[in-house]
Amino acid sequence: MGGGARGRRAAPAPGRGAPRGAAAGRCGGRGERAARGAGGAPDGAAPTGGSAGPVIATLSRRERLLVIAAVGVVAVVGGFTLAIQPILEANRATAELVPAREQALQQRRALVLRRGAIASDLEATSRRLGTVSARLLTSATPAVAASELQKLAKDMTAQARTEIRSERILEPKERGELLEVSIEIAVSGEIRQLVDLLGRVEAAPKLLSVQNLRVRVVSLAQPRDLLATVTLSGFILPAKART
């Protein structure tokens, strides 16, 4: 009897094993949920990095229109600056040159129309230059030209029946491409003789000019006798100008 009683006490009581199994199941479920919370995101949560769309997709319709309008304005301004503005500047520069070119063209046309008159004027000028060149003093050096001028003055005073009292050579002066050679002579004679001398100077074959003339009476007792101081000039073409 004693052994049977202990055997009955050692056997598990019916109904006690089930609660312990349920408790173990509840503990296992808690561990799985804890492992899920520690190891990863909850079920149903999508990753945020790779699936995000473009920024434009997050904008509203009004914001998209503003962005498109801004891009269009930038494109128009850039196209105007890079393409249209250089063309406008080139056209403006060309328009500024048009009046000057038209004026130059008109001048050339006028020259073409006056070609005959210009040729005639040039020929006449060449003839005058040839005539004037023939009337220059022969020598190209001032000293020899001054001697030639002195000889011409003596010949003219002798023809006018006047007398040379004194003479001196002055410094030559440049007159453009010509060189002016001058002498100063003191001539005595009557008024008619002096007038005759001046006429001969003007009609001389060489190009002569009277630069200065001073007349005074030699003696009050003989007022008809005059003394004239004349600066007589001739012209030469220097050797450097001839070459």
Residue 242 pLDDT: 56
**Three-state DSSP state, 200:** helix
Distances (CA, A) of 140 to 115, 227, 242: 36, 32, 9
171-205 burial, b for 16+ CB within 10 Å, e for fewer?
ebeeeeebbbbbbebebbbeeebbebbeebbeebe
- 50: DSSP letter: T
**Residue 232: is its pLDDT beyond 80?**
yes
Q: Mean pLDDT in the chain? A: 76
Domain ranges for the chain, please list them.
57-113, 137-242
Nearest CA among 231, 141, 238, 234 for reference residue 181: 234
**Residue 89: is its pLDDT beyond 80?**
yes
Q: In whole angstroms, what is the distance from residue 135 CA to residue 127 CA?
A: 13
Tokens of 58: 């997050």
Kindly indicate the confidence band of residue 119, based on its pLDDT and cuts at 50, 70 and 90: confident
**Residue 6: is its pLDDT beyond 80?**
no
**Residue 144: is its pLDDT beyond 80?**
yes
Is there a contact between 157 and 199 (Cβ–Cβ < 8 Å)? no
Q: In whole angstroms, what is the distance from residue 96 CA to residue 103 CA?
A: 12
Residue 55 pLDDT: 66
- Distance spanning both ends of the chain, measured CA to CA: 171
Residue 62 pLDDT: 80
Nearest CA among 174, 167, 140 for reference residue 152: 167
203-210 long-range contacts, Cβ below 8 Å, gap at least 24? 204/152, 204/156, 205/135, 206/135, 206/136, 206/137, 206/152, 206/234, 207/132, 207/135, 207/136, 207/234, 207/235, 208/149, 208/152, 208/232, 208/233, 208/234, 209/233
Highest-scoring range by mean pLDDT, 135-139, 191-195, 220-224: 191-195
> Which whole number is the average pLDDT over 74-86?
78
Tokens of 96: 């500024």
- 180-201 tens-digit pLDDT: 999 999 999 999 999 999 999 9
Write the single-letter amino acid at 241: A
Name the CATH code of domain 137-242 (choices 3.60.130.10, 3.30.70.60, 3.40.50.300, 3.30.110.30). Answer: 3.30.70.60
State percent of the chain over pLDDT 90: 28
